[in-house]
Amino acid sequence: MSTPFTGPEFSLTHDATSVADALVVGVFSGDAGISVDAGVPEAARGPIAEALALVGAKGTPGEAVRVPAPAGAGLGAATVLGVGLGAAPAGEDRVPAETVRRAAGVAGRALDGVGSALTTVSTLDLAATVEGTYLGAYRFTEFRHSSAPKQAPLGAVALLVAEGSQALTEEARGTVEQARRTAAAVALARDFVNTPPNVLSPGEFADRAQRLGAEAGLQVEVFDEEYLAAHGYGGIVGVGQGSSRPPRLVRLKHSSGLNDAKHVALVGKGITFDTGGISIKPAAGMENMTSDMGGAAAVIATVILAAQLNLAVDVTATVPMAENMRSDTAQRPGDVITQYGGTTVEVINTDAEGRLILADAMVRACEDDPDYLIDTATLTGAQMVALGNRTPGVMGTEEFRDRVAALSQAVGENGWPMPFPEELRADLNSRVADLANVSPHRWGGMLTAGVYLQEFVADGVQWAHIDVAGPAFNTSAPWGYIGKGGTGVPVRTLLAVLRDIAQRG
């Protein structure tokens, strides 16, 4: 693998007059004109606001305006980059973390190719600034070939923090380190998604997961197509059999070493490319199906992160990987397969392949008796119809579903709880098998996929299913800390849930 994106170097400073190529300041909108954040030295606030206003800065979220640093304002930076924060919060209220993260992301994108930056936005929320800047600066250049020398990515970022005790500084260092590792995990998930499907076959994906998992100190197992066929993984085998590049199942385990730790099972859909199989997809937009392993990418990145952060929770990721192709060995509409655990399924539509590989993996994951099971997948176009491109659908056992959705919202990934209407189950009855893989209509397609998966969750396991069909891959313009392509969603949701379980059980 080529060198992964490593992000800028971060350091901490109390000196707002440090030398830098750019000083990043937060800009608030207001009826009486714009104002800049309080991390900026008081004497420089007026001149900076004036310079930014002169070129039209309004302080609206998403805005980035760069000007030469006003002379005589005592700044060490050559230029000032103002990033919009919207209206200043009233009274004692703080700027929401996600607002800071997005503004820092806008700065990270705007500073592509800039050597060094000093950011005052960090005085608003240190962790959000690190995450946003890192993820905004993210780029995927492995396959880019240009005659011009590659522009270096944003190199170094000094974070301005308010004067404090030594202890506070140590705490700040820890905050920066954790935020940087979190952002790096999101970037790893993005790298996986952005790697083209000719390169990232199931075998290659498994190899990379194995290598990175071992480096992080995880216990790793990789099962090949022969093992899967011999052990009854009919879903993974059925979906993978149309490709000359056979399927895999990867298991990665982080052990906390604690006796009373909760056990969380993670499962992620790893379709390295989804043509739809014999039920083939239309050509327009099919290239986006390179992202159909976004769920797998997120759970692999998350279990590695759990080890790096030494989280007080046991985490086992079970990751099915396959390529959904069509050929004379591909499964047919009408085939009956046997999922791991024995449930038979009539494959009515070979394009509803994600649930087939997930079901095998979820049954295997439940054999370990986890307390919690979270699966995530680019599972249905219906997720995008229901919730759009930026809002994951969260389903599952109600209490845990709501907890996962709330945590997802708290970290800015904005998962939303969705129901399992009871009438949907009967639509998955099959003429010949225990289950059909699709219903005879398209209504509530995201929920139907969840109802299918529900059949494979062991009794007593608290379960959440996160459909990220839209949110895992951005085909629109860059915004906030999200560029085009892989987004790394829902890594930060999964991390928040693991942290919450480690803390509260």
89 near ligand BES, rule: CB under 6 A: no
Residue type, 66: R
335 near Mn ion, rule: CB under 5 A: no
C-beta closer to Mn ion: residue 21 or 274: 274
| Site stretch for ligand BES (CB under 6 A), options 62-70, 98-106, 195-203, 374-382 | 374-382
323 near ligand BES, rule: CB under 6 A: no
Residues forming a β-bridge with 80: 23, 67
Q: Which of 45, 181, 281, 390 is catalytic?
A: 281
234 near ligand BES, rule: CB under 6 A: no
Output the CA angle 200-205-206, nearest 5 degrees. 155
Three-state secondary structure call for residue 302: helix
467 near Mn ion, rule: CB under 5 A: no
Known active-site residue 484:
no
Residue 241 and residue 243: Cα distance in Å, rounded? Answer: 5
491-504 vs 166-194: helix crossing angle, rounded to 10: 130
| Site stretch for ligand BES (CB under 6 A), options 17-25, 105-113, 203-211, 375-383 | 375-383
Residue 3 and residue 314: Cα distance in Å, rounded? Answer: 29
63 near Mn ion, rule: CB under 5 A: no
Minimum separation from the CB atom of position 274 to Mn ion (A): 4
State the residue for tokens 């310079």. Answer: 51
471 near ligand BES, rule: CB under 6 A: no
Judged by CB under 6 A, the chain residues 247 through 286 that form the site for ligand BES are 274
Report residue 375: phi and psi, to 5°. Answer: -115, 150
Residues forming a β-bridge with 220: 252
Asked if 483 contacts 109 with a C-beta cutoff of 8 angstroms, the reply is yes
Asked if 186 contacts 494 with a C-beta cutoff of 8 angstroms, the reply is no
Burial class (CB within 10 angstroms; exposed 0-12, middle 13-18, buried 19+) of 155: middle
Residue 167 and residue 208: Cα distance in Å, rounded? Answer: 39
Q: Which of 355, 364, 492, 499 is catalytic?
A: 355
Binding residues: 269, 274, 292, 351, 353
State the binding partner of 297 from ligand BES, Mn ion, Zn ion, none, CB within 5 to 8 A by kind.
none
Binding residues for Mn(2+): 269, 274, 292, 351, 353
Q: Reply yes or no: is the peptide bond before residue 4 cis, omega within 30 of 0.
A: no
335 near ligand BES, rule: CB under 6 A: no
Minimum separation from the CB atom of position 445 to Mn ion (A): 12
**Number of residues counted as binding ligand BES (CB under 6 A):** 15
| Site stretch for ligand BES (CB under 6 A), options 15-23, 98-106, 313-321, 351-359 | 351-359
| Site stretch for ligand BES (CB under 6 A), options 35-43, 252-260, 313-321, 350-358 | 350-358
Minimum separation from the CB atom of position 132 to Zn ion (A): 30
Report residue 494: phi and psi, to 5°. Answer: -60, -40
381 near ligand BES, rule: CB under 6 A: yes
Minimum separation from the CB atom of position 39 to ligand BES (A): 40
Among positions 110, 111, 212, 382, the unique one binding ligand BES when judged by CB under 6 A: 382
Among positions 225, 314, 351, 455, the unique one binding Mn ion when judged by CB under 5 A: 351
User: Which residues are CB-contacts of 100 (< 8 A; sequence separation ≥ 6)?
Assistant: 26, 85, 121, 124, 125, 128, 129, 132
Going through 325-428 in order, the beta strands assigned E by DSSP cover: 336-338, 344-346, 372-377, 393-396, 416-417
Judged by CB under 5 A, the chain residues 278 through 317 that form the site for Zn ion are 292
State the binding partner of 349 from Mn ion, Zn ion, ligand BES, none, CB within 5 to 8 A by kind.
ligand BES
C-beta closer to ligand BES: residue 264 or 352: 352
438 near ligand BES, rule: CB under 6 A: yes
Report residue 167: phi and psi, to 5°. Answer: -60, -40
Count of H helices and E strands in the chain?
A: 13, 21
Known active-site residue 281:
yes
380 near ligand BES, rule: CB under 6 A: yes
Binding site for Mn ion (CB under 5 A): 274, 351, 353
Binding site for ligand BES (CB under 6 A): 274, 292, 349, 351-354, 378-382, 438, 445, 469
